[in-house]
Amino acid sequence: MIKPHGSDTLNPLFVYDSAKHDELLHEAENLPSLEVNSAAAANAVMMGAGYFNPLTGYMNLADAISVAETMKTTDGLFWPTPVMNITNNIEAIKGKKRIALRDPNVEGHPIIAVMDVEDIEEMSDAEANSITKNIYGTTDMEHPGVNTFNNLGRHVVSGSIQVLSFSYFQTDFPDTFRTAVEIRNEIAERGWKKVVAFQTRNPMHLAHEELCHMAMDRLSCDGLVIHMLLGKLKPGDIPAPVRDASIRKMVELYFPPNSAMVTGYGFDMLYAGPREAVLHAVFRQNMGATHFIIGRDHAGVGDYYGPFEAQEIFDGIPAGTLDIEIFRADHTAYSKKLDKVVMMCEAPDHNKEDFVLLSGTKVREMLGNGIAPPKEFSRPEVAQILMDYYQSTK
Q: What is the mean pLDDT of residues 298-311?
A: 94
Residue 391 has pLDDT above 90, yes or no: no
Q: Which residues contact 69 (CB under 8 A, 6 or more apart)?
A: 130, 134
Number of Cβ within a 10 Å radius of residue 193? 14
Proportion of the chain above pLDDT 90, given as a percent: 87
pLDDT at 213: 97
Where along the chain do the CATH 3.40.50.620 domains lie? 172-392
Q: What is the mean pLDDT of the chain?
A: 95
Residue 394 has pLDDT above 80, yes or no: no
Q: How far apart are CA 307 and CA 294, in angstroms?
A: 11
Residue 339 has pLDDT above 90, yes or no: yes
Q: How far apart are CA 152 and CA 138, in angstroms?
A: 17
Q: Structure pTM?
A: 0.94
Q: Which CATH architecture has domain 172-392?
A: 3-Layer(aba) Sandwich (3.40)
pLDDT at 37: 97
Q: How far apart are CA 189 and CA 92, in angstroms?
A: 46
pLDDT in tens, 4-46: 999 999 999 999 999 999 999 999 999 999 999 999 999 999 9
Residue 376 has pLDDT above 80, yes or no: yes
Residue 239 has pLDDT above 90, yes or no: no
In contact, 58 and 159? CB cutoff 8 Å? yes
pLDDT at 240: 83
Q: Which of 128-132, 218-222, 389-393 has the lowest mean pLDDT?
A: 389-393
- Phi, psi values for residue 153, rounded to 5°: 125, -170
Please confirm, yes or no, whether 275 is among the known catalytic residues: no
Residue 65 has pLDDT above 90, yes or no: yes
pLDDT in tens, 93-124: 999 999 999 999 999 999 999 999 999 999 99
Q: How far apart are CA 247 and CA 205, in angstroms?
A: 9
Residue 219 has pLDDT above 90, yes or no: yes
pLDDT at 202: 85
State whether residue 288 is helix, strand or coil: coil
- Give the chain's count of helices (H) and strands (E): 13, 14
Res. 369 pLDDT band, cuts 50 70 90: confident
pLDDT at 106: 96
The domain made up of 18-170 has a fold known as Sulfate adenylyltransferase (3.10.400)
The packing angle between helices 240-254 and 380-392, to 10°, is: 160
Strand ordering across the sheet containing 291-294: 260-265, 223-229, 195-200, 291-294, 325-328
Residue 359 has pLDDT above 90, yes or no: no
Marked catalytic residue, from 201, 248, 328, 364: 201
Q: How far apart are CA 367 and CA 319, in angstroms?
A: 45
Q: What is the mean pLDDT of residues 147-173?
A: 96
Q: Which residues contact 112 (CB under 8 A, 6 or more apart)?
A: 36, 41, 44, 45, 101, 102, 103, 163, 164, 165, 167
Please confirm, yes or no, whether 134 is among the known catalytic residues: no
Marked catalytic residue, from 202, 248, 328, 364: 202
Residue 220 has pLDDT above 80, yes or no: yes
Proportion of the chain above pLDDT 70, given as a percent: 100
Where along the chain do the CATH 3.10.400.10 domains lie? 18-170
Largest interatomic CA distance in the chain: 69
